[in-house]
Structure 1
């Protein structure tokens, strides 16, 4: 009779061998959803900025009816810049980058503030964007680390 050896491997395949970090939970999908929402928010902000730059008559009130009395060209530039930065940050969050996640939280907060000041011009749209900004901030701050851990 031949001895084929032990059926146990020569190396440790237990959880301790790989680290003590817990497995990512289902919330990792929530962070991926938040990053795609950031990309959509960035696109929407950029479109809103372009409309403010090129079609002043589109909005409900004139510049003096807004919370901050500046012309629509300034608002358009702010929204366009926020949109581009949100797009880039959303792409960075997909890679699990901590800096992109931090910048994403800051940009989503700035986007919410900008839309709160812009609420007189386009109320329903601004409230929708503020709601999505809050969801993005929640997902990135509470569950963002899990995406980083799952990409290692």
Structure 2
């Protein structure tokens, strides 16, 4: 569970960084003129706040994961899935960053789904 919790914290940090970048520099996520503006972002300020709130939710969920909460594990899976889909929007602008954070989200989901059976409070 520590693996999944730490990865959830790192993913939350990355999402908070994405949010602040969207808030502070609107043109940062724009693609080049020869590719056209292919991002699906409707409003950079709203998008930045969404990522900040998701990152904070991931931090809080990671605390629940460290405490062994089943609800926190389920919330972590949902948040990582949201981040996985959300990174598709950034794929045209920053393919390597998007792929790295998508892999991180997949590892979070894996870490939360493949829980050892000997955790206290879990049914076998």
Normalising by structure 1, what TM-score?
Answer: 0.70
CA displacement at 1:70 relative to structure 2:
1.0
Normalising by structure 2, what TM-score?
Answer: 0.84
**2:85 partner SS:** helix
**1:117 partner SS:** helix
Matches within 5 A, 1:62-141: 64-66=37-39, 68-141=40-113
- The residue that corresponds to 2:27 in the other structure is 57
Q: 1:41 aligns with which of 11, 25, 46?
A: 11
Structure 1 residue ranges without an equivalent (≥5): 1-30
Question: For residues 70 and 138 of structure 1, do their structure 2 counterparts lie closer, same or farther at Cα, with a shift above 3 Å needed?
Answer: same
Query: Once the two structures are superposed, what CA deviation does each residue of 1:52-84 show, in whole Å capped at 9, x if it has no partner?
Result: 011122224279421x24122222122111111
CA displacement at 1:120 relative to structure 2:
2.0
CA displacement at 1:113 relative to structure 2:
0.6
Q: Which structure has the larger Rg?
A: 1
Cα distance in 1 for partners of 2:80, 2:116 equals: 14
- Aligned Cα RMSD in Å? 2.1
Question: For residues 79 and 144 of structure 1, do their structure 2 counterparts lie closer, same or farther at Cα, with a shift above 3 Å needed?
Answer: farther
Q: List structure 1 segments (4+ residues) > 6 angstroms apart after TM superposition.
A: none
Structure 2 residue ranges without an equivalent (≥5): none
